């Protein structure tokens, strides 16, 4: 059975491939900004926004190609406020200043669709506590890490220098990187795509 990743995320692709899940990657071409505006106007929680976006991506690709289509989305939730990826380094700095000294969750959703319909959903909610960051550290961090910070909702990459930002992390490492890998692999084994 074909596995398709409805995502252009290099991180999700790498995580799945590293675990032995061979998947074709297809960009879903979903207007995420418009979808987020509509969901926020409707009052959807940050968790439900992540699930809905993951489902939209999976269903869109699944209606065009056969197989199991995995859609994913991750949203940062700070006290009910959803963060989007920063659009520039000034935005990354604002994100880090808001997160400094606080705990947030990463609403990490995956949905599998088949024949244009969702058949499986999972939401992971790792909790991350950012230590109090000095102005000097923030400036150094942004200067050192640069534009790759714009590819993540929190303006950090835990797998690199971003590890210095945190004082505490609760939750699955793979989910923090954007893909709840262990539950996904369990489901793929149930479906016979991976060996039991």
Residues taking part in catalysis: 73
- Compute the distance between CA of residue 26 and CA of residue 6 in angstroms, rounded to an integer: 5
112 conformational bin, left if phi > 0, alpha if psi -120 to 50, beta if neither: beta
Q: Name which of 34, 20, 21, 108 is nearest 71 in CA terms.
A: 108
Rounded-to-integer distance, Cα 67 and Cα 69, Å: 6
| DSSP-derived secondary structure letter, 37 | H
State the distance between the two ends of the chain, measured CA to CA, in whole angstroms.
15
In 3-state terms, what secondary structure has residue 113? strand
């Amino acid at each position: 059975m074909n596995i398709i990743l409805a995502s252009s995320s290099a991180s999700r692709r790498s995580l799945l491939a590293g675990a032995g899940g061979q998947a074709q990657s297809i960009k879903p071409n979903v207007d995420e900004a418009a979808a987020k505006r509509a969901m926020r106007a409707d009052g959807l929680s940050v968790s439900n926004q992540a699930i809905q976006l993951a489902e939209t991506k999976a269903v869109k690709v699944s209606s065009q190609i056969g197989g199991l289509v995995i859609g994913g989305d991750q949203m940062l939730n700070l006290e009910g406020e959803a963060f989007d990826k920063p659009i520039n380094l000034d935005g990354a700095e604002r994100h880090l200043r808001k997160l400094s000294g606080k705990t947030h969750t990463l609403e990490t959703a995956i949905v599998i669709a088949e024949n244009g319909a969702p058949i499986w959903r999972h939401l992971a909610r790792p909790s991350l506590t950012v230590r109090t960051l000095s102005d000097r550290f923030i400036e150094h961090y942004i200067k050192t890490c640069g534009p790759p910070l714009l590819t993540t909702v929190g303006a950090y990459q835990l797998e690199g220098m971003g590890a210095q930002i945190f004082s505490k992390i609760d939750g699955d490492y793979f989910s923090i990187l954007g893909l709840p890998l262990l539950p996904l692999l369990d489901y793929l084994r149930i479906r016979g795509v991976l060996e039991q």
